[in-house]
Amino acid sequence: MGYYICVETGVNIYVEDINREGRRTILFVHGWPANHRMFEYQFAALGRQGYRCIGLDTRGFGNSDKPAHGYSYDRMADDIRAVVEALQLQDITLGGHSTGGGVAIRYMARHNGYGVAKLALFAAAAPSLIQRPYFPYGLQRQAVEQIIAATHNDRPQMLRDFGNMFFFQHVTEALADWFFQMGLQAANWATAAVAESWLDEEELFTDLGKINVPTLILHGIHDRVCRFPLAEAQHQGIAGSRLVPFEESGHGLFYDQRDKFNEELARFVAE
């Protein structure tokens, strides 16, 4: 079932709600530049196991409204709060991929984990996607600036280039095009604005220490977008967290090793 939730005046977020009668709920926050459909292999498998799976399209992406503003981690975390309140969700597992993982971390810190019993991070863009003087493990700032420039100049080619570094396992041309089409659904300005937020966002370093729920970290060791040392930093910064390396995965670990991914996530939710 799909529907819209108003998160602020004039801005509606699209939500796909699978198996509403499920015994436990997982709220998925997708990564840049995709939408909720990137988790369709999780919705299918986990839905069959009796879980309620909710996927939202963050503002500017997928079927959600595409305003000119509101692409900071704070605002996107506030959008999650609006969804949680509107659906009256309690004791859920909040799962986020890439930028969605960073936004999920911000949600936990900014909203004190409202409604969340467990946190799952999938190749999360945290504590920093880019290299900083005190954190040399991310992408070079120049690489992100080139992504932003390419978004403004030739977004389809930028999306093709990004797709080429997303998966570690071989994917068919059809699947690569499926991922490409998700990126095209986003607004140009939203795609660029979220990428610009990667350059400015530094508070995730302190946000990690504010997380006080069981946390699962799934991360591919061949990730070329959010490199594996980011996962190690998350593990170090979140007390009691569990890190599971994916030996045959890149950034798209939910597809590269989807059976392992689904098994690890289902086990964590059921614990």
241-271 pLDDT per residue, tens: 999 999 999 999 999 999 999 999 999 999 9
User: Cβ contacts of residue 73 below 8 Å, gap of 6+?
Assistant: 102, 103, 106, 197, 201, 203, 204
CA 59, CA 154: separation in Å to the nearest integer? 22
- Reduce the DSSP state of residue 171 to 3 states and report it: coil
Query: Which among 216, 15, 228, 1 is positioned nearest to 116, based on CA atoms?
Result: 216
Alpha-carbon distance values, 9 to 60, 67, 91 (Å): 15, 11, 28
Confidence at residue 1, expressed as pLDDT on a 0 to 100 scale: 79
Q: Which residues of 248-258 are buried (b: 16+ CB within 10 A; e: fewer)?
A: ebbbbbbbbbb
Confidence at residue 230, expressed as pLDDT on a 0 to 100 scale: 98
Confidence at residue 22, expressed as pLDDT on a 0 to 100 scale: 84
Going by pLDDT thresholds of 50, 70 and 90, the confidence category of residue 123 is very high
241 a catalytic residue: no
* Digit-coded pLDDT (tens) for 4-16: 999 999 999 999 9
pLDDT mean over 229-235: 98
* Digit-coded pLDDT (tens) for 135-155: 999 999 999 999 999 999 999
User: Cβ contacts of residue 140 below 8 Å, gap of 6+?
Assistant: 130, 131
Residue 83 has pLDDT above 90, yes or no: yes
- Reduce the DSSP state of residue 175 to 3 states and report it: helix
Q: How does DSSP classify residue 72?
A: S
- Give the residue numbers spanning the domain of 25: 2-270
Count up the domains in the chain and report the number.
Answer: 1
Confidence at residue 152, expressed as pLDDT on a 0 to 100 scale: 97
Beta strands 51-56 and 11-18: pairing type?
antiparallel
* Digit-coded pLDDT (tens) for 15-48: 999 998 888 999 999 999 999 999 999 999 999 9
Rg of the chain, C-alpha, whole Å: 17
Q: How does DSSP classify residue 55?
A: E
Going by pLDDT thresholds of 50, 70 and 90, the confidence category of residue 85 is very high
Catalytic residue selected from 57, 65, 79, 223: 223
Confidence at residue 77, expressed as pLDDT on a 0 to 100 scale: 98
Query: 213: burial class by Cβ within 10 Å (0-12, 13-18, 19+)?
Result: middle
The model's pTM is: 0.97
98 a catalytic residue: yes
Confidence at residue 119, expressed as pLDDT on a 0 to 100 scale: 98
pLDDT mean over 174-185: 97
Catalytic residue selected from 64, 98, 197, 241: 98
Q: Under a CB-based contact definition with an 8 Å cutoff, are residues 173 and 125 in contact?
A: no
Q: How does DSSP classify residue 20?
A: T
Confidence at residue 91, expressed as pLDDT on a 0 to 100 scale: 98
Conformation bin of residue 154: beta by default, left when phi > 0, alpha when psi is -120 to 50: beta
Q: How does DSSP classify residue 67?
A: -
222 a catalytic residue: no
User: Cβ contacts of residue 198 below 8 Å, gap of 6+?
Assistant: 99, 125, 129, 130, 144
User: Cβ contacts of residue 79 below 8 Å, gap of 6+?
Assistant: 7, 8, 11, 13, 56, 58, 59, 70
Catalytic residue selected from 36, 219, 235, 251: 251
Average pLDDT over the chain, rounded to an integer: 97
Confidence at residue 221, expressed as pLDDT on a 0 to 100 scale: 98
Confidence at residue 82, expressed as pLDDT on a 0 to 100 scale: 98
Query: 267: burial class by Cβ within 10 Å (0-12, 13-18, 19+)?
Result: exposed
Residue 125 belongs to domain with CATH number: 3.40.50.1820
Query: Which among 116, 111, 107 is positioned nearest to 25, based on CA atoms?
Result: 116
